[in-house]
Amino acid sequence: MEQKDLYKELGQIRSLMEKSSKFVSISGLSGVLMGCYALVGTLLGYYIIYQPQSAVLLGGNNLERSQVLLIIALTILFLSLVTGFVMARRKARKNKQSIWNMTSKSLLFTVSIPLLAGGFVSALFFIQGYYQLVAAMLLIFYGLALTAGSIYTFAEVKALGIIEICLGLIVLAFPDKGLLLWGLGFGVLHIIYGFIVYKKYES
Amino acid sequence: MSILAANEEYDFNSLKELLEVTDGNLASNLKTLEKEEYIVVEKSFVERKPNTRYKRTAKGLKAFENHLAALENLIKQQYK
């Protein structure tokens, strides 16, 4: 076999193995946007928790502070999911790939188990009033989901996942820093990582 | 075999999309691999649409690894 054919074949084998097992249509910019939503939410949360007088403007006096925070958090989650999905679909279309394939389905399944578990844990802690544990649980389970799913997508996601887990553990150690670390983990880190992914893979 | 070595299983349409070949071309190559017992076929229905998935066999994985080793040897020889 000629040498250049050898390298060509090896290159094709590696490319196929890589392309077939990694979902690369995640948009880095959607990460940046999600981070921005989270930062806005953190700011709102700060006013609600630490300056309750202004919270009256937001939620009216009948709504409990925790409920307002819940609504804000769920809104951020919803916006993030929609943004992420829409931008991923657009990126997939641009690369002429479908967004639903074996890899994306595996990714979704692998990621949804820790996320659902984390969602239920956080919800139960919230209902029982263990508010200080909620931020930690969100960070830890989200980090677990990212770390698990990273085998199906960019390698950078694994590092992000581990950092989120560490942040969650720090929150458990310093419960009064919950909001700050939540803003760091879901806001600042997403902006940074989203930008890194965008720079590395999309420009 | 590259794709089936890197993934537990893969369906027909995803294979077709990645390899950019026609239905017939893909089907006949897959039939050959199946005859050699390098892969197994699993057919099912997903929402009333036929869904065909392929998995490597142990024999198929070994053959693929041997192929990679052979290519590697050829490269080593060229550096002697």
Q: pLDDT grade, residue A55 (50/70/90)?
A: low
Per-residue pLDDT reduced to its tens digit, A102-118: 888 889 999 999 999 99
Partner-chain contact B10 A102, CB within 8 Å: yes
Most confident of A11-25, A89-103, A133-147: A133-147
From the list A1, A7, A20, the residue facing B10 with the nearest CB is A20
Task: Give me the pLDDT at residue A63, please.
Answer: 61
Query: Which structural domain, as residue segments, surrounds residue A133?
Result: 27-202
B36-66 b/e with 16+ CB inside 10 Å = b?
Answer: eebbeeeeeeeeeeeeebbebbeebeebbee
Can you tell me the distance from the alpha carbon of A177 to that of A130, in angstroms, rounded to the nearest whole number? Answer: 15
For the B2-78 domain, the top CATH level (class) is: mainly alpha
Task: Give me the pLDDT at residue A1, please.
Answer: 59
| HSE toward the beta carbon, residue A55, CA cutoff 13 A | 20
Q: pLDDT grade, residue A120 (50/70/90)?
A: very high
Partner-chain contact A20 B3, CB within 8 Å: yes
CB contact B54 to A (< 8 Å): no
Can you tell me the distance from the alpha carbon of A91 to that of A88, in angstroms, rounded to the nearest whole number? Answer: 5
Domain ranges of chain B: 2-78
CB contact B66 to A (< 8 Å): no
Look-up of token digits 């041997």: B66
Assess whether pLDDT exceeds 70 at residue B28.
yes
Considering its fold, how many domains does chain A have in total?
A: 1
- List residues bridging with B46 in a β-sheet: B49
Which range has the worst mean pLDDT, A9-18, A50-59, A158-167? A50-59
- Check if the beta carbon of residue A126 is closer than 8 Å to that of residue A66: yes
- Chain B nearest-CA distance from A98, in A, is 9
| Residue with the larger pLDDT of the pair A1 and A122 | A122
Assess whether pLDDT exceeds 90 at residue A94.
no
In a domain? residue A162? yes
Partner-chain contact A16 B3, CB within 8 Å: yes
Per-residue pLDDT reduced to its tens digit, B29-71: 999 999 999 999 999 888 888 889 999 999 999 999 999 999 8
